[in-house]
Amino acid sequence: MGLAYPSLAEDGIPPVFDSMMDQHLLKNNMFAFYLTMDSSQVDSDLTFGYYDKTKFKGNMVWHPILFKLMFGIALDDILVDGKSLGLCGPNGTKKDCLITIDSGTSYMSMPQWAYTEYSKSYPTVSDSVECDTGREFGNLTFVINGEHYSFAPQEWVYPPSPPSAAFPQTELMS
C-alpha cells in the first residue's frame, strides 16, 4: 500500500491515506508504524489517525518533512560504532543529506557517492567479510535533527547463513 505523497502516486489515483483524509475518516491526519523483530511480546502494526503511546518510552520527537515526494527528512550524520562516516554536515563529503522513511523498502539504500565512501571503511553485500555475530561492527546510528536513532548489529548486519547459488560464500556479509 503506497503511503507516499500524491505527487508519487499514479496519475488520477489518490493514495489511500489521502483518500482517508479527504473523507475525514481519521481522528488526526497521521499514520504510524510500529516494527519489531520480536513478536513474542507485541506484534508490529500500522495505525491510522493516531499512534500507540504504549509502544515506546520517552517523548515523541517530530521531524519536519523536507522532501515531500516521499518522507525525506534532514540527516545530520551516520555513525558506525560511534564513529562518524563523515558523509553529512559541514565537515562531511556532502553538506546536506536527506534520509527517506520508507516502510516499503526492505534494505537501507543510499546514493552512489555515499555508498562509495561507506564501502571504503565497511563491508557491503558485494564486498563482504566473515564474522561470527556482526557485533564487532557496533551499532548503526542515524543522527536526525540532533536525535540519535541506533540499530543493534543484528538489526542492520546480514546474519550468518549457509552459502547458496544466489549468494556465494564470498558475497555474504555475516
Q: Domain segments of the chain: what residues?
A: 1-60, 63-174
User: Do the domains at 1-60 and 63-174 have one common CATH topology?
Assistant: yes
pLDDT of residue 42: 83
Residue 106: pLDDT band (50, 70, 90) is low
List 1's β-bridge partners, or say none: none
Amino acid (one-letter) located at 71: F
What is the overall mean pLDDT for the chain? Answer: 80
* CATH dotted code for 1-60: 2.40.70.10
* Chosen CATH of 63-174 out of 3.20.20.60, 3.30.300.90, 2.130.10.10, 2.40.70.10: 2.40.70.10
pTM, entire model: 0.76
State how far the alpha carbon of 70 is from the alpha carbons of 10, 66, 73, in Å.
Answer: 14, 9, 9
State how far the alpha carbon of 162 is from the alpha carbons of 35, 92, 130, 137, in Å.
Answer: 27, 37, 12, 21
pLDDT of residue 20: 94
Query: What's the rounded Cα separation, in Å, for the pair 99 and 105?
Result: 12
Residue 41: pLDDT band (50, 70, 90) is confident
Sign of CA dihedral 94, 140, 128, 98: negative
